Structure formats: C-alpha cells, structure tokens
Amino acid sequence: MTFKIKIKAPATREAQIRSSVAASQEKQDFYDFRHERTELPRVRIPQDLLLYRMENFRTFTDQQEYLAKESLPASFFHAGQENETVQQIQHGLLAALSRQGRADSVVPVIDVLRTEKQREPLLITYRGVVVNGNRRLAAMRELMDEDEVANHAFNAVTCLVLPEDASPDDIIEVEAGLQGRPETKLDYDWIGDGQLIKRLFEIGWTERQMTDRLRRKPSEIRNSLAALTEANLYLKDWRNAEGQYTLVRDSEQFFKDLPGHVQKKDTDLANASRAIAWTLHDHRDSLNERLYAFNIAMGGKAADVLDRLSSELGISLSKPEALEDDGDFIVNIEEADDEVSYQPIVDLLSDEDRRQEAVETLIDICRTVIEEERGKKTGTVALKAIGAANARLMEVDLSRADPASYHAIGRQLEQITSRVASLTEQLTALAAKRQVTGTDTDQ
C-alpha cells in the first residue's frame, strides 16, 4: 500500500499553523535565511497540514522523466502544488528516494526513522509547504501506512516555520544553503545539482556568491552548468528524448568531461566531437573498457579519428568548392584545412538506418588511436603503426581493383615503396648508432 494524500484547504492550513506559531514557546536559531541568524518558532503540527514543495531539485530528474513518459506539460508539477493527484505522484517519487541508501555508508532515511523516529525538525512555510524535509515527511507517512500503531508518533511532526514574508527566491536560497554544499548534497544527483545552480543564477546570484555560499570552486560551478547543457543537447538533439534525464543520470563523469572535449574547437569540429562522444556513450557496454579511456578520441584526437573514419568509409570531408583534382589526389590536405566539413559524418552517425557499420568502424578507430597514444608512452608506437600498415596491405586484393584505378594505385605504391626505403635506411642508421654507443639492448 501507499499513503493516500488528502489536502486541507489553504485557509485551514494557514490558520492552524499560525495558531501553533503564536502558542509556541520554543525558538531555534537558523542561519540559512537571508544569510543571517534568525530565530524560528519550533512547533508540532499534524502531518496532514503539510504539502510537498514541487520546485524540488532532489526530485527534478524523476519529475522530468514522469512528464516525458506521460506526455504532460512542463508546468504539471509546479502548477499542481495544491492538487491531490500531483501531490500523490510527488509522494511516490519521494517515498522511493527515502528507501534508497548507499552500501558503503548511508542508511535509507525510512530505516533511520523507523528505529530512531524524528530527530530533526522539518522546515516549512506559513502555508504548510515543506522547504526542507520532503523526503523525511514521505518516509514518515509511509511508516504510518505500514503500521499506524507502531508509528503513531508521526501523526504530528516537529517543524521550524519560516517568516511569513519568505519569498520564492528566499526559499530557493534556503535550499541552496541547506542542500547545495558538497558536504550536505548527499542525495542530489548531478542533474538536480546543476538545475539548482542554474536557478540561483536566474534569481540573481553571482558566481562569487555561489563559490562563497555553496563552498565550491568557480570551475566546479561552471562545469556543472556546462555538463547540464551537454546533457540537454544529447537528450534533445541526439536521442529525441528531451527531459528523460534517467538516460543520463548514471553518466555524470562523461557529461562533466564533455565540455572540455569541445571547448576551443570551431563549431563544426565541436559538433563532430560530440557525435563521436554520444556514439561511444550509446555503445559503452560494448567497449570492453571504461568510457573514460576513450576521452582522447573525443577530445584532442577527434579530428584524427574523423579523418580516419572518412577514409575508411569513403566519405569526402571537402566542401564542393574546395575540390581540386591534380590528376592523382583530390585535395591538398595541408592547404585545405579550412575547407573541411565533418557534417557528413555527423549525419551518418545520427542516422539510425545507416549508422551501424559506421559505429563499428568508429569504435575500432578509437581503439587504434588509444593504443597509439599508449604506445607513445611505452615507445612502441612505431612498431604498432608499421604493423597496422602491414596488416592493411596484406588485405589488398588487386584482382578486384577497378582498372580505372590502376594508375592511382601505382602512384600510391610508388610512394609506399619510397617511404619504406626511407624508413629502412633510418632504422639501419639508428641500429648502427646504438651499437657504437653501447646502448644496444638486444643481448
């Protein structure tokens, strides 16, 4: 069973809370209202006077997922704070969160309340809207529904009441103070955290205020917003799943790394880098190693990956007006960098009907690039490159070549032969030098 929400009329709620405040003999210091010490009245009131607050950044991701799945308007939750149906849905989201914990250290809230009862007061407005403690309230209500006799104490709850003139912006700032700091935002997912930061900017906070009050570095503030922007782009433009944040909830590191992969790149290369990253993210379960290991393929080596992919798939990256045929090669790469467009690859990777072969090739190329980078650190990059070239040449079957390509193939083989001769000469010289200096390790 699930606790059934019944809402009392606003006037009734406010009158009872006002009466409880007037009768209260207890005060408690509170330091997150308008950034100064405030004495708040401490009261004990029936739990059915309370409403869940809908602008709740802890449940933001789940709310957005619900809206997307049910095809509901964006205002459904915010406009429905006084609606029993909406309150019931929000209760379900919060009750689920109250049962979540972490295996290493965090016990689910509902289990703590079951054994220890209420230890800390909820924070509410004069109208009975819970500013801090929504999840605890949901847990207490679930426990009442589970065993009303054993949990009868939760029929009434202890609350601190904010001043009557508390504005919506004040409440956002209170949530930031209570929940947005690194040591207290335990149950925020990274998406809700980014939304909170975005909302604080909207109400006029400066970056300096963020760093001081949330105790974050400026780079952390900026990265949280950038990661949220990248996640929104991915969901809307790539997955056609705008608002379905559960698709990215477990990919915090990926989306926080992604801004660094695309910054300082021109728009065309940045979009293509995103296409590489998004494709790898979608196929992360088949990569056989952590997605993090592919960062270089979507970042510093993205242009190399795209060039290789275009070559493998026979996709021209040259803009039509940049084509120059000298009889042997279509484009002089060194002179045509500004005339390259990666959009054909982006289009291919985003096309569900055509992209499968491209995806497999892309993953192989990314693995090759990663191995080459690792080879640079171990001194084996030359051996790996030559081994890869040899393997590709071994695959060539000239009997199936188009006669029209014979001349071009001949020219390519001449260049290969020349390059092999040059490399062989260099290798002989290097080997002789090592023997003369006594550094030859082959003993």
For β-strands 36-46 and 51-52, DSSP reports them as unpaired
Question: Nearest to residue 312, comparing CAs of 352, 384, 376, 368?
Answer: 368
pLDDT, tens digit, 9 for 90 and up, residues 224-268: 999 999 999 999 999 999 889 999 999 999 999 999 999 999 999
The stretches of 263-379 forming alpha helices (DSSP H) are 267-282, 295-298, 302-313, 343-349, 355-378
Reduced to 3 states (helix: H, G, I; strand: E, B; else coil), residue 130 is: strand
The reported pLDDT for the residue numbered 20 is: 96
Tens-of-pLDDT digits for all 443 residues of the chain?
689 999 999 999 999 999 999 999 999 999 989 888 999 999 999 999 999 999 988 899 999 999 988 999 999 999 999 999 999 999 999 999 999 876 544 688 999 999 999 999 999 999 999 999 999 999 999 999 999 999 999 999 999 999 999 999 999 999 888 866 555 444 678 999 999 999 999 999 999 999 988 888 999 999 999 999 999 999 999 999 988 999 999 999 999 999 999 999 999 999 999 999 999 999 999 898 899 999 999 999 999 999 999 998 989 887 755 444 454 444 443 444 457 899 999 999 999 888 888 999 999 999 999 988 887 655 666 776 787 788 778 888 888 888 888 888 888 898 899 889 988 988 888 788 777 766 554 44
Q: What are phi and psi of 442, to 5 degrees?
A: -90, 90
The stretches of 180-324 forming alpha helices (DSSP H) are 190-202, 207-214, 218-233, 252-262, 267-282, 295-298, 302-313
pLDDT, tens digit, 9 for 90 and up, residues 324-361: 445 444 444 344 445 789 999 999 999 988 888 899 99
pLDDT, tens digit, 9 for 90 and up, residues 401-419: 888 888 888 888 988 998 8
CA distance 104 to 60: 25
How many H helices and E strands in the chain?
18, 6
